[in-house]
Amino acid sequence: MDKPFSFVGIADAYIDVLSDTGVRTGLELKGNCSEFSPKTDSERKELTANGRSNFGQVISSITIPKPMTASIKFNQMDQALFAAAFFGSNSVLTQAAGAVAAIDVTTIEDKWVEIGGYMMASAVVTDPTGVTTYELGTDYELNPRLAMIKALSTGSIPSGEICKVTPTYEAVNGIKMKAMTKSNVRIRIKLDGKNFDDGRDFISEVYQMRLNPSNTFSFIGTEFAEATFEGVLETPVGFTEPMEHIWLS
């Protein structure tokens, strides 16, 4: 049992996003955890001698533990961890399918202007009186997904005209993430792991870690984006340590 070993860890990472008051809400597999690195830290205090024969030598020293920290990375994540990477919170986004009443939109020649909503199926565009109907492709262009309109300078829509746009939308069921709305996120981490070198199973658990997003998340690129979190390991009430590691074989 107590022989030297090499270590290459693989694990499923179960995450419990705690409530604002620290109450456990249940463990979930949140995605692919590519790294989990706990780090110990300490401060050393030294007493140095001032005698003729031992000046500058250490005659006593102590090591004072500092709080443990950890870094955890995900290159696949669920919506909750994605939001946490931006100190954000999620809400449900819904949009009913169908036509809506005419919307007044102030056009800007050869530039895009939002109509409102998302995933526009079609639209009827008229002058302010509703008498003249403009032609798609000749007088204006649409970006259906973003629900935007661009009045063309080569068309017949006067510059700056307030057009009446009557859109028809597709149904949308999505998620809206608002960044910088939730700064104190704490999680519990439970690793169901194995040492790939010798096959031994292990369980590592961090009872309470306060997250601090610590990387730049790229929305454009050729590599898989990665969310990195750092944080301090807290010792909850009822515990005497912030983390435990168990070897099962």
Question: How far is the C-alpha of 196 from the C-alpha of 181, rounded, in Å?
Answer: 40
Domains of the chain by residue range: 9-90+180-247, 97-170
What's the chain's length in residues?
A: 249
Say if residues 164 and 127 touch (Cβ distance below 8 Å): yes
Report pTM: 0.81
Question: How far is the C-alpha of 203 from the C-alpha of 187, rounded, in Å?
Answer: 17
How does pLDDT run across 17-37, given as a tens digit for each residue? Answer: 998 888 999 999 989 999 999
Q: What is the mean pLDDT of residues 44-51?
A: 96
pLDDT at residue 124 is higher than 70: yes
Strands 98-99 and 162-169: antiparallel
Question: How far is the C-alpha of 64 from the C-alpha of 198, rounded, in Å?
Answer: 34
How does pLDDT run across 125-148, given as a tens digit for each residue? Answer: 999 999 999 999 999 999 999 999
Q: What is the mean pLDDT of residues 38-67?
A: 96
pLDDT at residue 58 is higher than 90: yes
pLDDT confidence of residue 183: 81
pLDDT confidence of residue 27: 96
pLDDT at residue 49 is higher than 80: yes
Question: What is the rounded average pLDDT for all residues in the chain?
Answer: 94
Question: How far is the C-alpha of 212 from the C-alpha of 4, rounded, in Å?
Answer: 35
How does pLDDT run across 193-213, given as a tens digit for each residue? Answer: 999 999 999 999 999 999 888
The CA distances from residue 185 to 38, 45, 110, 182, in Å, are 18, 34, 44, 7
How does pLDDT run across 74-123, given as a tens digit for each residue? Answer: 999 999 989 989 999 999 999 999 999 999 999 999 999 999 999 999 99
User: Which segments within 84-226 are labelled E, that is strand?
Assistant: 89-95, 98-99, 103-106, 112-114, 120-126, 140-143, 148-151, 162-169, 172-178, 186-195, 201-213
Amino acid at 121: A
Query: Which helix H or strand E contains 42, and what residues bound it?
Result: strand 33-48
